[in-house]
A and B are shown apart, each in its own frame.
Chain A
Amino acid sequence: MPETNQADMEILQEFLAESRENMNEMECDLLAWEKQAVTREALDRIFRAVHTLKGTCGFLGYPRLETIAHQAENLLSQIRDRKITASAMAVTVLLKVVDSVRRLLVHIEQTGTEGEGNDTILLSELSALLNAETSETVAHNDIAGDDQTFSGGTESTIRVDVALLDRLMNLVGELVLARNQLARVTGGQNGSPLAGTSQRLSHITSELQQSVMKTRLQPIGNIWSKFPRLVRDAAMAEDKKIRLFMTGQQTETDKSIIEAVKDPLTHLVRNCITHGIEKPEKRRAAGKPEEGVVTIRSYHEGGQVIIEVSDDGAGIPTDLIREAAIRRRDITPEQAEAMGEHDLQQLIFLPGFSTAKEVTKLSGRGVGMDVVKTNLERIHGSIAVISRRGEGTLFKMKIPLTLTIIPALMVKSGGQRFAIPQVTLVELVRLNRETNDGQVESLFGAPVYRLRGKLLPLINLREELGLEADSNLGNSLANSTHIVVLQADGGSFGLVVDEVQDIEEIVVKPLSKHLKVVHQFSGATIMGDGRVALILDVLSIAQQLHLGAGQEARLVAAEATKTTTPVADPGEELLLFEIGNKGRMAMKLSDVTRLEEFPVAEIENEGAGEVIQYDGHVMPLVPLRQLLLPGQQESVARESHDKLQVIVHAHNGSYYGLCVDQILDITRQPLALQHRQSRPGILGSAIIQRRVTEVVDVAGLVTLSRQRPSGVVPLAEGIES
């Protein structure tokens, strides 16, 4: 009888779900009990959970569960009637009951039976408590509050199948499309009854969309409920004293995302306990309270959900990291020298990174961090770490609110449209073939591009997907190369596409199982015109490149994390460049509009100054070397370079081209200036990448160049900046 089986399955599923929830709740209550006297209400809740379990198991025929529940209920009823004093022992045994029940539930879910085995130890522990006449003394051994009646309360929630919600979501998405099409038709007819109706339909649709989306949201606290227990057990095993703070349990996000962050989050919390928090004696020696604190915080920010896991432990030992990274040849000793604390800490996310010299069961901090990172990237999230020696470590995870609606960059290749999730996007580079500004080079047939001095491996999307060239491409498009710089799998790479379009919010839909052999796509979406577009699986494309494997790629990876993961104390992003001999300087990246390269032949003279045509405007050139290193001759450099490196700066609606000899790097660090304003055009000096570097005052330089007799003539007309 298939119907009966179906019904049975449903009952079983409901039983499993309900029992799990009950056990979670019971565990929380028990842990609270350990800390302070149990309230009558909490005790009733625990009692009810066990009682329900017993009843249902009797009905469904699970004798092992029934017996355990029965004994636990006996114990609880004795405690409730104050015949037995609630002891710490009782709580521990009741926690064991929770564990056993969970184990059996898993077994039932997998096999449909409770399986073989016996629970004599647990049962004897329970009966020992029941028979114990003596009252052990513990700190909180009494029941607080007065007798209260069972408060049942009416049900205000119902269980709904997730598949049904998905279907609703699909239909609403389709309704939105139909609404958009209708709005286009009625757009021109102001005042007509149809326009009014269409507008009302539009409002209702939007509201419906939001409500349906909300049904899939769950408070993130649902997966936190297990952490108090986890922290308690892990702290005990490690002989550490740890208090857990959790705030923001009510922060809501999509159910599927909650499931996906469960493991990474657990890993981070464990990491904080085993590697972050020190042993009590060590903490005392360091002048810290013996009890360490692990904090989990969650909140909404900029349309994303942020989860922070932090501890007040020893911080990440950067010297060990440096050592291990050099040993693993992730970086050279020279590079290690130049890297700041923050940069070194990011290395823990490299694949397989560990500070332990040998692989042991208790290996060093950082084990599995790459897995955490990959898992988060899979759901379009990201992670960053900030750590201070002796003060603690903070992991900050950013996850999207929903997997179903994401911003994506639309591109075209071979005449087909594809969506690239925006989270993987770093920057866009356009190379014009005619003006030959930078080119794609080839290394044994593998195309690469020099992006600010680093080699960026390139993949042509058309070749990757085996598409024909699009003959309908316009001239301007065909003549330029569009590189979409993407970051995934701990590395970055450039995807060459035919055409870059807009960033749009797309509704992600899964691909059917028929297409699981095609790893290049993570899903599909329906565009405004009703056509289907495929979503590129950037992670999978990157993985097949083995970006994480090569040493160079790792460095690019370190570079990428450095420049693209803003953290709570991010410092200032700085552009490093060189003028003249050893004239290493920096400027704030916020002053930089673009980096350009011009052939020297394009320089023209206007009045007393040099200018260059840029984007249809006349851009005055600011010769940094003349202004800052008056001793050195400009012309020498000109002869040796046939290209001019220019930092474009927009100021008061005009563009200015600051001429430098070489762009070195972009870095992020707190800017602590010394020797402030030692001379005009200089803000001061700072130690950047372990070298004393002068930080230029861009606005001051622009003014300076205008004051000089050979200075730049400001433009009369405004230029959009």
Chain B
Amino acid sequence: MSRQLCTFNVGEHLFGVDVLTVQEVLRRQEMTPVPRAPEVVRGLINLRGQILTALDLRRRLNLPAAPAEAEHMNIIVQAPDGSVSLLVDQVGDVMTVQDEFLEPSPATLGSDLREMITGVYKMKDKLLLILNVASATDISELASPERN
């Protein structure tokens, strides 16, 4: 069995999501921040009249923040709760991967990360991490910043 993945970079990692869950890819969009929202919510974007929440994948994956001047891109994915925009560093190619190279994510990863990264494809020169869109976009457990 093989499947097609839309790949993208977050930090030094290469990720992939099933190409069928990707609605579209957009350059940097004008964003409206949402006060009191959990930190992973970077803001709201206007996608042809539909208002979408943009989630910062770096923050979601506990990666260090990108340098201030760095550009990002939006990958609009279809999640269980509707369309969501994932902010990533760079969008790569669509790759066809073979199941024989798939391995479950290592147990050392930590349980919340393992829920989001469901598997690893061993590519020739690097690892391709499979992002589970449903759990990556489920932020109901994350608290809003403390009120003072």
B residues lining the A interface (CB < 8 Å):
30-38, 41, 43-46, 48-53, 55, 81-82, 84, 137, 139-140, 143-145, 147-148
Verify B50–A466 contact, CB threshold 8 A.
no
Verify A466–B35 contact, CB threshold 8 A.
yes
Instruction: Provide the residues of chain B in CB contact with A171, threshold 8 Å.
Output: 48-49
| Cross-interface CB contact of B30 among A518, A520, A530, cutoff 8 Å | A530
Verify B46–A531 contact, CB threshold 8 A.
yes
* Pairs A–B under 8 Å by Cβ, sample size 17: A174-B49, A465-B36, A509-B49, A511-B44, A511-B51, A512-B51, A514-B81, A514-B139, A515-B53, A517-B143, A521-B34, A524-B44, A526-B49, A526-B51, A530-B46, A532-B45, A532-B51
Verify B49–A515 contact, CB threshold 8 A.
no
Interface residue tally of chain A, by bracket?
20 to 34
Q: Closest approach, in angstroms, between the C-beta of B44 and any C-beta of chain A?
A: 4
10 more A-B residue pairs beyond the given contacts A465-B35, A517-B38, A520-B36, with a C-beta to C-beta distance below 8 A: A170-B49, A414-B35, A416-B32, A514-B55, A515-B34, A515-B37, A515-B41, A518-B34, A518-B36, A532-B32
From 435 to 483 in chain A, residues with beta carbon under 8 angstroms from any chain B beta carbon are 465-467
From 377 to 431 in chain A, residues with beta carbon under 8 angstroms from any chain B beta carbon are 414, 416
Chain A: CB-nearest residue to B140? A517
Q: Is A49 at the interface (CB under 8 A from chain B)? A: no
Verify B137–A514 contact, CB threshold 8 A.
yes
Q: Is A320 at the interface (CB under 8 A from chain B)? A: no
User: A465-B36, A467-B35, A524-B51 are known contacts. Are A512 and B46 too (CB-CB below 8 A)?
Assistant: no
Q: Is A533 at the interface (CB under 8 A from chain B)? A: yes
* Cα of A416 to Cα of B148 in the assembled complex, Å: 20
Q: Is A173 at the interface (CB under 8 A from chain B)? A: yes
* Cα of A118 to Cα of B17 in the assembled complex, Å: 52
Instruction: Provide the residues of chain A in CB contact with B52, threshold 8 Å.
Output: 512
Instruction: Provide the residues of chain B in CB contact with A174, threshold 8 Å.
Output: 48-49
Chain B: CB-nearest residue to A169? B49
* Cα of A510 to Cα of B84 in the assembled complex, Å: 14
* A525-556 Cβ-contact flags toward B at 8 Å (1 or 0): 01000111110000000000000000000000
Q: Closest approach, in angstroms, between the C-beta of A400 and any C-beta of chain B?
A: 20
Chain A: CB-nearest residue to B145? A466
Q: Closest approach, in angstroms, between the C-beta of B62 and any C-beta of chain A?
A: 18
Verify A532–B46 contact, CB threshold 8 A.
yes
From 485 to 536 in chain A, residues with beta carbon under 8 angstroms from any chain B beta carbon are 509-515, 517-518, 520-521, 524, 526, 530-534
Instruction: Provide the residues of chain B in CB contact with A517, threshold 8 Å.
Output: 37-38, 140, 143-144
* Cα of A513 to Cα of B138 in the assembled complex, Å: 10
Instruction: Provide the residues of chain A in CB contact with B137, threshold 8 Å.
Output: 514
Verify A512–B144 contact, CB threshold 8 A.
no
Instruction: Provide the residues of chain A in CB contact with B51, threshold 8 Å.
Output: 509-512, 524, 526, 532
Q: Is A666 at the interface (CB under 8 A from chain B)? A: no
User: A466-B147, A514-B53 are known contacts. Are A534 and B34 too (CB-CB below 8 A)?
Assistant: yes
Chain B: CB-nearest residue to A462? B35
Q: Is A230 at the interface (CB under 8 A from chain B)? A: no
Q: Closest approach, in angstroms, between the C-beta of B46 and any C-beta of chain A?
A: 5
Verify B38–A416 contact, CB threshold 8 A.
no
User: A171-B48, A177-B49, A466-B147 are known contacts. Are A513 and B81 too (CB-CB below 8 A)?
Assistant: yes
Instruction: Provide the residues of chain A in CB contact with B50, threshold 8 Å.
Output: 170, 509
Instruction: Provide the residues of chain B in CB contact with A511, threshold 8 Å.
Output: 44, 51, 53
Verify A512–B36 contact, CB threshold 8 A.
no
Instruction: Provide the residues of chain A in CB contact with B36, threshold 8 Å.
Output: 465-466, 518, 520
Instruction: Provide the residues of chain A in CB contact with B32, threshold 8 Å.
Output: 416, 524, 531-534
* Cα of A518 to Cα of B43 in the assembled complex, Å: 13
Verify A173–B49 contact, CB threshold 8 A.
yes
Q: Closest approach, in angstroms, between the C-beta of A287 and any C-beta of chain B?
A: 60
Chain B: CB-nearest residue to A467? B35
Closest 5 CB pairs of A and B: A174-B49, A465-B35, A532-B32, A513-B81, A532-B44
* Cα of A534 to Cα of B51 in the assembled complex, Å: 11
Of the listed residues A416, A512, A517, A520, the one surrounded by the most CB atoms of chain B closer than 10 A to its CB is A512
User: A465-B36, A466-B36, A467-B35 are known contacts. Are A514 and B41 too (CB-CB below 8 A)?
Assistant: yes
Of the listed residues A173, A414, A520, A534, the one surrounded by the most CB atoms of chain B closer than 10 A to its CB is A534
Chain A: CB-nearest residue to B48? A174
Of the listed residues B37, B137, B147, B148, the one surrounded by the most CB atoms of chain A closer than 10 A to its CB is B37
* Cα of A534 to Cα of B53 in the assembled complex, Å: 12
Instruction: Provide the residues of chain A in CB contact with B82, threshold 8 Å.
Output: 512-513
* Cα of A346 to Cα of B65 in the assembled complex, Å: 55
Instruction: Provide the residues of chain B in CB contact with A526, threshold 8 Å.
Output: 46, 49, 51
Instruction: Provide the residues of chain A in CB contact with B30, threshold 8 Å.
Output: 530-532
Of the listed residues A174, A509, A517, A530, the one surrounded by the most CB atoms of chain B closer than 10 A to its CB is A517
Q: Closest approach, in angstroms, between the C-beta of B53 and any C-beta of chain A?
A: 4
Instruction: Provide the residues of chain B in CB contact with A533, threshold 8 Å.
Output: 32
Q: Closest approach, in angstroms, between the C-beta of A434 and any C-beta of chain B?
A: 30
Instruction: Provide the residues of chain B in CB contact with A521, threshold 8 Å.
Output: 34
Of the listed residues B33, B34, B53, B143, the one surrounded by the most CB atoms of chain A closer than 10 A to its CB is B34
Verify A514–B35 contact, CB threshold 8 A.
no
Chain A: CB-nearest residue to B50? A170
Q: Closest approach, in angstroms, between the C-beta of A385 and any C-beta of chain B?
A: 36
Q: Closest approach, in angstroms, between the C-beta of A392 and any C-beta of chain B?
A: 46
* Cα of A483 to Cα of B39 in the assembled complex, Å: 30
Instruction: Provide the residues of chain A in CB contact with B81, threshold 8 Å.
Output: 512-514
Q: Closest approach, in angstroms, between the C-beta of A625 and any C-beta of chain B?
A: 50
Q: Closest approach, in angstroms, between the C-beta of A167 and any C-beta of chain B?
A: 9
Verify A518–B37 contact, CB threshold 8 A.
yes
| Cross-interface CB contact of A512 among B38, B84, B148, cutoff 8 Å | B84
Chain A: CB-nearest residue to B44? A532
Instruction: Provide the residues of chain A in CB contact with B145, threshold 8 Å.
Output: 466
Instruction: Provide the residues of chain B in CB contact with A416, threshold 8 Å.
Output: 32-33, 35
Instruction: Provide the residues of chain B in CB contact with A170, threshold 8 Å.
Output: 48-50
Chain B: CB-nearest residue to A173? B49
* Cα of A509 to Cα of B143 in the assembled complex, Å: 24
Q: Closest approach, in angstroms, between the C-beta of B60 and any C-beta of chain A?
A: 11
Verify B35–A520 contact, CB threshold 8 A.
yes
* Cα of A520 to Cα of B31 in the assembled complex, Å: 19
Chain B: CB-nearest residue to A526? B46
Instruction: Provide the residues of chain A in CB contact with B139, threshold 8 Å.
Output: 514
Chain B: CB-nearest residue to A461? B35
Instruction: Provide the residues of chain B in CB contact with A514, threshold 8 Å.
Output: 41, 53, 55, 81, 84, 137, 139-140
* Cα of A465 to Cα of B32 in the assembled complex, Å: 14
* Cα of A532 to Cα of B49 in the assembled complex, Å: 10
Q: Closest approach, in angstroms, between the C-beta of B148 and any C-beta of chain A?
A: 8
Q: Closest approach, in angstroms, between the C-beta of A104 and any C-beta of chain B?
A: 32
* Cα of A171 to Cα of B49 in the assembled complex, Å: 6
* A153-185 Cβ-contact flags toward B at 8 Å (1 or 0): 000000000000000001101100100000000
Q: Closest approach, in angstroms, between the C-beta of A240 and any C-beta of chain B?
A: 49
Instruction: Provide the residues of chain B in CB contact with A177, threshold 8 Å.
Output: 49
Chain B: CB-nearest residue to A417? B32
* Cα of A520 to Cα of B44 in the assembled complex, Å: 15
* Cα of A177 to Cα of B46 in the assembled complex, Å: 12
* Cα of A466 to Cα of B39 in the assembled complex, Å: 13
Instruction: Provide the residues of chain A in CB contact with B44, threshold 8 Å.
Output: 511, 524, 532, 534
Instruction: Provide the residues of chain A in CB contact with B37, threshold 8 Å.
Output: 515, 517-518
